[in-house]
Structure 1
Amino acid sequence: MGSLLRSEEMYLCQLFLQSEDAYNCISELGELGLTQFRDVNPNVNAFQRKFVNEVRRCDEMERKLRFLEKEIKRDDIPVLDVGDNPEAPQPREMIDLEVTFEKLENELKEVNNNAEALKKTFLELSELKHILKKTQQFFDQV
């Protein structure tokens, strides 16, 4: 795998792809890691672009993955390093991944909320226990 350094020879190309094949072509180029994309329509509004919804979905899935990764690191859970980046999933698989990430995020948020509520309850009960001990000592002395 090469790198995009200034000293390396580069070529400027413009690709015209059919909509049906665009995803597969772009994912192959991205997996090579030798491609840099440039916006040829910088004056077009973001809402008028063709693949805005797909990009937003990917951004949202990336956000969920970062959240999951942060929680995994916070709890010191070992993660198996597979080395290379996996291949880009097909559009059909993206829907399944999106549902899975949503489910994991919701479950983890619920677990975090429950853990926080349990800690709060534990602290309150510990406080009450110490108060009861002190009052018992007081009444024993009297």
Structure 2
Amino acid sequence: APPKGEKEGQRPTQPVYQIQNRGMGTAAPAAMDPVVGQAKLLPPERMKHSIKLVDDQMNWCDSAIEYLLDQTDVLVVGVLGLQGTGKSMVMSLLSANTPEEDQRTYVFRAQSAEMKERGGNQTSGIDFFITQERIVFLDTQVPAPPAFAPPCHILH
């Protein structure tokens, strides 16, 4: 039998997320949603910059746990790409910053000129930022090329 409130053959309803105020608006206290008639979730703690979720050795970082424990109704947006292609900049612009702002104040640090000259990565591991609209943005380091990736073993 289909879940309560849904008809046979009808697609299940999915949550709809809207990005509003680009993460910089004031947090509204929990209130009744007039459309749904249910209490809204409280917004997450306001973040001013990204936080390390996974370090460069692929270990979970304890500092991130406090932001994730109570976060269950979220939309996650991640980015993968080659070095220097603008992953951190795109994630900053999607999450909280505007193009007019100084890039040094972006929530995800873009690759510095010095880092470009050395051929290194600005982002190591995975950094994250949570907006007041409960959207989690993940900025990742450049994936390792196959020659540097750890060996995979397929078990039969």
TM-score using structure 1 length: 0.25
> Which has the higher Rg, Structure 1 or Structure 2?
1
Q: Identify, as 1 or 2, the structure richer in helix.
A: 1
